[in-house]
């Protein structure tokens, strides 16, 4: 057995100084001396260098160097290594036949070597590899990949290049290879080697569409600074032309963030009619097509004064549905806004695009809101050939501005009574129709009464409205009495009574839970019964003489009683598992979850019972449909949401909303939804049309690599397929490939995408 000698030489002690303060701070926790271990060591006669033979190890903290032979030069802190060289420097793993390193700077070279960068999981190997700095490498005749294994699924072979960790790899004459076989070559390429954002071209999206032709979308990403960046898009469509776009993002501080997007296309085609609008009279004849949208959350002056901005302006009614896919399409924009701001935009088929700027501030019991709102109506304007629908006849209402003050519910002095309320001052503008201002105030006084077995909360309110009319025009012209100032006073009353009864059923005792059982054991089931009674009254008030701006100007008469009963089933389960506070010991862990929630609700309208007009055509029907609302978790992998309305007069279900979702161990999921309406013609629901829409979807993990998914939406009433889509996906350690086919009544698409780890995605 070889005798292993521990040799610690003071001549080998070096202090590695960093060029940056953060790196120096991190190094303070690491040992600052290199330690040498070998089977045999020898020094030169003049002590210029030290040689080590057999199982050579140099280590310092988590960094190390291993080899069969090493020669260390004391004056320059340079080490030469030969034979099975392995090293680790700051998370990078190196292998080579021969290598040299400067232990002061962690630089050097490798012969016939390989470097593995743990983050971002990238290999590169070649005849000569140079480590030129703590985070930089140069190489010649090298191969780069992120795939594990001797024969990578894909790789890039290059004559020379350089890599900067958290930066880019610059490659000269790179050849893209699949299973070591070249398939694509270019003179020069740049690929990201980063965990932080960096500027550069992103991989393009390529696709085909019946409406757009062949498509190629090339984005470029530019970092402006730590708080801002921009992405530029060039989207070429063979049937439409070149669409240019830009997306600007900013995060100036922890309280503020914004995303702004703009796209422009000079369309090669115009349409004699609108392909997407339900209005058969609408058409599109514009070639200049664009969409500007964005959102911003921030503050003015101080964080307590919140500012929110929503922008959504588009050139024509077809744009959003025609360009729904891709980097700058409607679907991605909607997902981005929901993800980053939690606020949606109007559906792509909506002809009303809403733009807002909102300022708000809260002071305990008070809240203030200032709103400016502009609504773009796509039925009006030069982009549509529709008689009488020019901008001068646009009745769309604009709020310029609207001021709101809210008093949140609070006690009146030391009494049991409460007070709350709201007030609004709004100025209404539009091109055609009545314009003016409205001041509305509604205080509400309540008297909450809480008893041992329930609560009763009566409330009384009084709405006072004052109008200041600038002009009467359009539908309101008939009520022009010459009075530009008008007043309205409407009282209202409501009361709510509720209670709760519950019973707990013991299914198993806690000591009956088996220690070796993997699944939880049901211990108890709680059934809570929550009856609720609500009454609301608003007197019948003649409001026809007042201008109409929105629903606040026509407060409907109300005299109705709503009663409901809710059943809540809550389960308690127990399972033995390691205790959090006592390591090594197991304890009984209990958990609670709502198994099901079932609510029955119906409304009785005293107003409808006493209605004396139109009874020959529409008989009195004071009882509303009975609502059955069920949400249940039938098992850990099966969920059901169901709302059904049953008419006591028709004797049938009149409306149904149903969705069923099933999941199984990330291997299988399925969903089914059904929405339908029955044809109803009664006083409260006149000429309700019949509707049947169903959706089927699912996915299956065939094995660890292959998966498939489908979606089918159908309008059974119109015998029309709304959407069909099939997707097949293959996932590998270093890439994924996905192909899908979809068809709607507007377009057919074939999409193919390859997602290369670290590089991004190619195709669409």
Q: Which residue has the higher pLDDT, 667 or 597?
A: 597
Residue 329 sits at φ, ψ, to 5 deg, of -80, 170
Record the pTM.
0.72
Q: Residue 2: pLDDT band by 50, 70, 90 thresholds?
A: very low
- For the segment 229-252, the average pLDDT, to the nearest whole number, is 94
- For the segment 93-122, the average pLDDT, to the nearest whole number, is 84
Residues shown for the chain: 764
657-676: pLDDT as tens digits: 999 999 887 788 999 999 98
pLDDT at 387 over 80: no
155-210: pLDDT as tens digits: 888 888 888 776 778 888 888 888 888 888 888 877 767 656 667 777 677 878 88
Q: What is the pLDDT of residue 274?
A: 55
Q: What is the pLDDT of residue 190?
A: 76
pLDDT at 22 over 50: no
Q: What is the pLDDT of residue 581?
A: 57
Q: What is the pLDDT of residue 758?
A: 65
Count the neighbouring beta carbons within 10 Å of the beta carbon of residue 536. Answer: 16
Supply 196's token pair. 């932080």
Give the whole-angstrom CA distance, residue 35 versus residue 16.
14
The most confident of the ranges 303-312, 520-529, 739-748 is 303-312
pLDDT at 240 over 70: yes
Per-position DSSP letters for 461-492, written without gaps between them: EEEEEEEEEEE--GGGGGG--S-SEEEEEEEE
Domain locations along the chain: 5-196, 199-387, 413-610
- pLDDT mean across residues, the chain: 85
On the 0-12 / 13-18 / 19+ scale of CB atoms within 10 A, 195 is exposed
Which residues, including other chains, have CB under 8 Å from residue 363's CB and lie 6 or more apart?
A: none
DSSP state at residue 325: S
pLDDT at 260 over 60: yes
User: What is the CATH code of the structural domain delimited by 5-196?
Assistant: 2.60.450.10
Q: Give alpha helix (H) positions in 310-453.
A: 319-322, 330-341
């Amino acid at each position: 057995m070889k005798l292993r000698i521990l040799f610690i030489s003071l001549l080998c002690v070096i202090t590695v100084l960093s060029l940056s303060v953060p790196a120096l701070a991190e190094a303070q926790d690491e040992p600052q001396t290199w330690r040498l271990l070998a089977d045999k060591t020898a020094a030169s006669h003049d002590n210029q260098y030290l040689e080590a033979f057999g199982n050579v190890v140099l280590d310092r903290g988590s960094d190390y160097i291993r080899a069969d032979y090493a020669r260390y030069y004391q004056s320059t802190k340079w080490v030469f290594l030969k034979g099975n060289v392995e090293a680790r420097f700051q998370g990078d793993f190196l292998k080579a036949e021969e290598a040299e390193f400067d232990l002061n700077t962690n630089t050097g070279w490798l012969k016939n070597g390989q470097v593995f960068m743990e983050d971002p999981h990238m290999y590169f190997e070649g005849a000569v590899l140079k480590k030129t700095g703590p985070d930089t490498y140069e190489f010649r005749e090298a191969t780069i990949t992120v795939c594990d294994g001797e024969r990578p699924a894909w790789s890039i072979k290059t004559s020379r290049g350089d890599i900067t960790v958290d930066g880019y790899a610059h490659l000269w004459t790179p050849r893209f290879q699949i299973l070591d076989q070249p398939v694509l070559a270019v003179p020069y390429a740049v690929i990201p080697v980063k965990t932080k954002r960096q500027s550069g071209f992103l991989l393009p999206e390529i696709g085909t569409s019946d409406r757009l032709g062949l498509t190629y979308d090339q984005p470029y990403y530019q970092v402006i600074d730590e708080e801002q960046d921009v992405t530029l898009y060039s989207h070429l469509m063979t049937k439409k032309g070149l669409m240019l776009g830009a997306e600007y993002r900013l995060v100036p501080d922890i309280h503020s963030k914004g995303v702004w997007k703009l796209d422009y296309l000079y369309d090669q085609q115009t349409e004699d009619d609108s392909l997407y609008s339900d209005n058969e009279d609408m058409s599109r004849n514009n070639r200049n097509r664009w969409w500007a949208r964005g959102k911003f959350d921030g503050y003015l002056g101080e964080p307590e004064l919140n500012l929110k901005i929503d922008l959504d302006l588009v050139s024509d009614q077809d744009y959003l549905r025609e360009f729904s896919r891709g980097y700058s399409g409607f679907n991605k924009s909607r997902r981005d806004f929901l993800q980053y701001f939690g606020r949606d935009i109007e559906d792509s088929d909506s002809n009303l695009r809403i733009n807002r700027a909102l300022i708000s501030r809260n002071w305990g019991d008070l809240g203030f809101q200032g709103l400016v709102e502009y609504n773009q109506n796509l039925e009006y304007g030069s982009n549509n050939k529709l008689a009488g629908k020019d901008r001068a006849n646009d009745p769309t209402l604009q709020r310029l501005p609207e001021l709101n003050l809210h008093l949140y519910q609070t006690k009146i002095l030391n009494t049991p009574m409460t007070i709350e309320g709201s007030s609004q001052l709004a100025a209404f503008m539009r091109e055609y129709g009545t314009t003016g201002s409205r001041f509305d105030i509604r205080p509400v006084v309540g008297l909450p009464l809480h008893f041992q077995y329930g609560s009763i909360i009566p409330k009384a309110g009084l709405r006072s409205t004052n109008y200041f009319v600038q002009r009467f025009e359009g539908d309101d012209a008939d009520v022009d009495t010459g009075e530009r100032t008008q007043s309205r006073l409407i009282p209202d009353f409501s009361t709510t009574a509720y209670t709760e009864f519950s019973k707990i059923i013991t299914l198993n005792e806690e000591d009956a839970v088996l220690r070796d059982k993997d699944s939880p054991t049901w211990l108890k089931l709680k059934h809570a019964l929550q009856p609720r009674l609500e009454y609301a009254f608003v007197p019948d008030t003649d409001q026809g003489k007042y201008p109409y701006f929105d629903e606040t100007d026509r407060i409907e008469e109300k005299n109705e009683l709503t009663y409901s009963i809710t059943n809540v089933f809550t389960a308690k389960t127990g399972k033995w598992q390691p205790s959090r506070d006592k390591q090594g010991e197991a304890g009984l862990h209990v958990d609670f979850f709502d198994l099901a929630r079932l609510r029955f609700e119906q409304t009785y309208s005293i107003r409808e019972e006493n209605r004396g007009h139109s009874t020959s055509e529409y008989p009195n029907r004071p009882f509303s449909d009975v609502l059955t609302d069920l949400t249940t978790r039938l098992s850990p992998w099966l969920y059901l949401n169901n709302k059904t309305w049953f008419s006591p007069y028709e004797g049938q279900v009149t409306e149904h909303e149903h969705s069923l979702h099933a999941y199984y161990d990330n291997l299988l999921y399925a969903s089914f939804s059904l929405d339908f309406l029955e044809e109803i013609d009664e006083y409260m629901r006149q000429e309700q049309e019949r509707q049947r829409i169903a959706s089927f979807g699912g996915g299956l993990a065939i094995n660890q690599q292959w998966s498939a998914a489908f979606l089918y939406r159908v309008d059974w009433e119109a015998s029309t397929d709304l959407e069909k889509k099939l997707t097949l996906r293959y996932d590998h350690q270093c890439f994924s490939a996905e192909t899908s086919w979809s068809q709607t009544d507007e377009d057919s698409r074939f999409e193919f995408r390859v997602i290369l780890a670290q590089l991004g995605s190619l195709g669409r």
